Amino acid sequence: MPEATYLDANELVINMGPQHPATHGVLRVKLRLDGERVLGTECIIGYLHRGVEKIAENRTYVQFAPYVDRMDYVAAVTNGMGYCEAVEKLMGVELPPRAQYTRMILAELQRIASHLLWLGTHALDIGAMTPVFYTFREREEILKIFENYCGARLTTHAFRIGGLQYDLYDGFEKDATKFCDYLLPKIDEYEELLSTNRIWMNRTKKVGVLSGKDAIALGVTGPVLRGSGVKWDIRKVQPYEAYDKVEFEIPTGQNGDTYDRYIVRIQEMRQSVRIIRQSVERLAPGPIFGKVGKVIKPPAAEVYHSIEAPKGELGYFVVSDGSTHPYRVRVRPPSFVNLEALDIMSRGHLVADIVAIIGTLDIVLGEVDR
């Protein structure tokens, strides 16, 4: 006799996404629920897969550069920076200081923009609908600076392999400093709205706890790792550009919960402002390109280079066969790795917490799926 199939009445499988207001794009999460309690999650990704890595094999090094902007489309500048640096490392090119500081300023502005976007959407997920408009207002100022610099706002393609395409426009230094002065009180305003808000604290404290040990084991990076109390920032441990010449601190959390990650990101914005101020002071007139030939043709070798993107460690593994086309490019996207932590963080929590946890991981599906 065949075994009778029965329905487990205690378990409800619910499909969250790929079209859902709070999954930040086309993430699909299969939730197994007991009432409101989450028994387990399963992420199904690939809805935004565009084969970025494969495209690289059919493009020259220069042609491929704009494609990386479309991975983490809310932090295009840092994405482009990582790629350019990886190829520069392959060719052994040293950048002049003006190019380095320019890259740092723009990258830190991008970090602030990315964190602002995260803060707004995260708060929106938890039900506070106002911060998103405030953070977008501030983000707009950053996008204006990008637009003035390179003509694009979102997918900037701001840098070129070996340096910068454009020198800074007149008044850039003033714009950057003015923005720093403008931003700091605004961050205080967000904190006033959220940091001590009882409902906000109830919703984020002890939610999605990730211990430092688990975080390291899963390989998560960026603010998610630092929120768990691990002091790890590529800018400090493997300095690139001129990050070893500026002073800044690495904010860390203690409990590894959603609230700590929120505080870490808020503090990081303040640290970014510090870096921008110092870099602007050190901007001296000079060349903006290192010694690269007209044709980018790196020697046959392979290289892994990683930078601290707003969302964590963004690594590029580039294999060159000595031609003008990369033999293979592999990206280590922070969002993809951080998303692995969703299951362990959300078990035993409620449905509403899933939304908070997806928000706190700060994922961008363009980067997860590539």
Residues contributing to the site for other proteins (CB under 8 A): 12, 14-15, 20-22, 36, 123-130, 133-134, 137, 193-194, 197, 199-200, 202-203, 350-355
309, 368, 367, 369: which is closest to 73 by C-alpha?
A: 367
9, 198, 227: which is closest to 118 by C-alpha?
A: 227
E strand residue ranges, 221-299: none
Of 139 and 203, the one with the shorter C-beta distance to other proteins is 203
Distance CA 182, CA 100 (A): 24
Which residues have C-beta within 8 Å of that of residue 248, sequence separation ≥ 6? Answer: 235, 271, 272, 274, 275
Overall residue count recorded for the chain in this entry: 370
Shortest reach from residue 133's CB to other proteins, in Å? 4
Of 12 and 217, the one with the shorter C-beta distance to other proteins is 12
Of 149 and 200, the one with the shorter C-beta distance to other proteins is 200
For residue 37, what are the β-bridge partners? 34, 350
Distance CA 113, CA 136 (A): 9
Shortest reach from residue 12's CB to other proteins, in Å? 7
Of 166 and 182, the one with the shorter C-beta distance to other proteins is 182
Of 233 and 362, the one with the shorter C-beta distance to other proteins is 362
Which helix (H) or strand (E) segment holds residue 29: the answer is strand 28-34
Which helix (H) or strand (E) segment holds residue 34: the answer is strand 28-34
254-278 burial, b if ≥16 CB within 10 A, otherwise e? Answer: ebbbbbbbbbbbbbbbbbbbebbbb
Shortest reach from residue 22's CB to other proteins, in Å? 4
Check if the beta carbon of residue 76 is closer than 8 Å to that of residue 110. yes
Which residues have C-beta within 8 Å of that of residue 192, sequence separation ≥ 6? Answer: none
Distance CA 38, CA 36 (A): 7
Shortest reach from residue 328's CB to other proteins, in Å? 39
Check if the beta carbon of residue 47 is closer than 8 Å to that of residue 26. yes
333, 325, 327, 323: which is closest to 370 by C-alpha?
A: 333
Of 200 and 248, the one with the shorter C-beta distance to other proteins is 200
Shortest reach from residue 224's CB to other proteins, in Å? 20
Shortest reach from residue 141's CB to other proteins, in Å? 13
Of 134 and 317, the one with the shorter C-beta distance to other proteins is 134
Of 33 and 318, the one with the shorter C-beta distance to other proteins is 33
Shortest reach from residue 116's CB to other proteins, in Å? 15
Of 44 and 237, the one with the shorter C-beta distance to other proteins is 44
What is the separation, in whole angstroms, between the first and last Cα of the chain? 49
Of 14 and 300, the one with the shorter C-beta distance to other proteins is 14
Check if the beta carbon of residue 195 is closer than 8 Å to that of residue 341. no
Supply the DSSP symbol for 168: P
Shortest reach from residue 289's CB to other proteins, in Å? 41
Shortest reach from residue 145's CB to other proteins, in Å? 20
What is the identity of the amino acid at 99?
A: A
Shortest reach from residue 280's CB to other proteins, in Å? 28
